[in-house]
């Protein structure tokens, strides 16, 4: 019998070492090495026959860039428009997609709902966590309601969804070879194990080996594969970091358990923009697409309230109006508190310093709390102006008119800087019935030095150009 071979792997980045190390030389993390048994038998992974039309058939020799023929990539357009937007237009042939999220956030629900609503494809749903009966119960809940007296039938279209409860990759590949599916969904990658590696499922070596086998299958057969992954307590996808480098697309499914809204965010995407965002609403019958997120992120109120403003932001190519709230109160303990939900705390401290230095507001002894409603996190600097207006509104206890919104970045000298794609922000505000929007005067056509000219004459909303933050407060509070 061959001697068992062991090796040490870093749980953070997947670095392999023949002996235990206290500090990983790759990612500089301490105490992350674990011992695992590795022994690869002689049996090989099945050879997949590449599709005739795939662009992967090329000679193994160096070719000049100009002589490479590029064909338009084929995409499966799903009925889920939010999913299509995040992926960049649909699922690309031969792509490997990894979707991660907290337990119970709805990853399995999203993937099963996607599979049930694609009758034109033969989908293989591989589950290593649930039984066939559990998946059947969820499928009945997600399926469209039948007429009275009828049975619940998922929209199979003659090429239905096939469920496989298996964790061995060798058995999974046998079923794939038999069914020849158009799409494979694996729930989840941490439950799979390969006979080529003698270690427990979920270990660094098993996750890496199983992903490598699925990657080889996807590229050689031009079959898209979607992997569902667990995340750690730090919010990172479990397994080695190399897992995210191996796949083509990394999606993060996130949301607050106390809110019904879920956000699908692209972290990495080789076939589209990595800044896109999809919003869903969690209902009893599954996830519903939210086509107009501005309507759900704005509270339906008629009376003006102090400390509440509306800001125009962009997520990818999608403009959204969000409600920003601020509360400023005297600090009872001597040490003022600074807390922000959905916004960077360091940037909030910068805005407070600008307001105190450039505008003369004494906020050093005040508690300041910021909140972005809807449970989303915003990193767009264009909401600076709206947040500053909300802070001063709460500090002076003067409400801001309901039909007023803001789009501008604040600099350290108190100037209002121009933001990109301001026309889309203005159009979104006008569509939702706002009467006035504050923007930087440097966004106006007369202030732009490049050839691109903004056509602001087509808008009926009142556009208020401002140069400094003191000018904004003079127009708002007198």
106 is in an annotated binding site: yes
Any long-range contacts for 442-451 (C-beta under 8 Å, 24+ apart)?
442/416, 442/417, 442/418, 442/467, 443/418, 443/419, 447/418
474 is in an annotated binding site: no
362 is in an annotated binding site: no
Beta-carbon contacts of residue 451 (< 8 Å; ≥ 6 apart): none
94 is in an annotated binding site: no
How open is the CA angle 334-339-342, to the nearest 5 degrees? 175
469 is in an annotated binding site: no
278 is in an annotated binding site: no
Known binding-site residue numbers: 101-108
Q: Which residues are annotated as a binding site for ATP?
A: 101-108
């Amino acid at each position: 019998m061959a001697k068992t071979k062991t090796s040490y792997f870093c749980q953070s980045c997947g670095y392999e070492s023949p002996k235990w190390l206290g500090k990983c030389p790759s990612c500089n993390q301490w105490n992350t090495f674990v011992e695992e048994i590795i022994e690869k038998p002689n049996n090989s992974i099945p050879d997949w026959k590449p599709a005739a039309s795939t662009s992967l058939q090329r000679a193994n020799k160096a070719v000049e860039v100009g002589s490479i023929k590029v064909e338009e990539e084929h995409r499966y357009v799903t009925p889920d428009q939010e999913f299509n937007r995040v992926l960049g237009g649909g699922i690309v042939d031969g792509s490997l997609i990894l979707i991660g999220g907290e337990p119970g956030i709805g990853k399995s629900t999203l993937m099963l709902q996607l599979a049930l609503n694609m009758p034109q494809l033969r989908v293989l749903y591989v589950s290593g966590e649930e039984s066939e009966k559990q998946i059947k119960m969820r499928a009945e809940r997600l399926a469209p309601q039948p007429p009275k007296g009828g049975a619940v039938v998922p929209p199979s279209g003659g090429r239905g969804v096939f469920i496989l409860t298996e964790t061995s990759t060798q058995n999974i590949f046998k079923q794939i070879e038999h069914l020849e599916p158009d799409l494979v969904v694996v729930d989840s990658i941490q439950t799979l194990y390969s006979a080529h590696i003698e270690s427990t499922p979920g270990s660094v070596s098993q996750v890496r080996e199983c992903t490598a086998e699925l990657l080889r299958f996807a590229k050689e057969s031009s079959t898209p594969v979607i992997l569902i992954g667990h995340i750690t307590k730090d919010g990172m996808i479990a397994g080695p970091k190399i897992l995210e480098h191996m796949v083509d697309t990394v999606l993060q499914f996130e949301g607050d358990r106390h809110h019904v809204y879920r956000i699908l965010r692209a972290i990495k995407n080789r076939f589209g923009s990595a800044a896109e965002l999809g919003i869903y609403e969690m209902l009893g019958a599954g996830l519903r697409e939210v086509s107009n997120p501005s309507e759900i992120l704005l509270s339906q109120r008629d009376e003006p309230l102090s400390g509440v403003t509306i800001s125009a932001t962009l997520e990818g190519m999608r403009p959204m109006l969000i409600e920003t709230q601020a509360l400023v109160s005297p600090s009872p303990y001597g040490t003022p508190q600074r807390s922000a939900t959905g916004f960077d705390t360091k940037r909030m401290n910068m805005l407070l310093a600008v307001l105190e230095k450039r505008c003369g507001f004494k906020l050093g002894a005040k508690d300041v709390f910021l909140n972005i409603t809807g449970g989303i996190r915003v990193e767009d600097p264009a909401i600076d102006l709206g947040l500053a207006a909300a802070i001063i509104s709460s500090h002076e206890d003067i409400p801001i008119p309901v039909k007023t919104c803001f789009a501008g970045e604040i600099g350290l000298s108190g100037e209002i800087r121009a933001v990109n794609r301001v026309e889309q922000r203005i159009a979104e505000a006008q569509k939702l019935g706002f009467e006035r929007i504050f923007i930087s005067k440097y966004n106006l056509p007369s202030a732009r030095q490049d050839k691109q000219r903004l056509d602001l004459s087509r808008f009926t909303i009142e556009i208020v150009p401002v140069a400094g933050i003191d000018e904004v407060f003079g127009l708002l509070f007198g």
